[in-house]
Amino acid sequence: MNARFRVSDAPADGVEIPSGITADLLATMVTVTLWTDAGPLDIAMRPDGTTGYADLLDAVVVIQYRGRDVPVASLADVIRSKEAAGRQKDLLVLPALRAHLKRQGTE
| Long-range CB contacts for residues 51-54, cutoff 8 Å, separation at least 24 | none
pLDDT for position 10: 64
What residue spans define the domains of the chain? 1-45, 46-107
* Residue stretches of the chain with pLDDT short of 50: none
Sign of the dihedral through C-alpha 93, 10, 21, 1? positive
Q: What is the pTM of this model?
A: 0.74
pLDDT for position 15: 76
pLDDT for position 31: 85
pLDDT for position 42: 86
- The amino acid at 100: H
pLDDT for position 107: 58
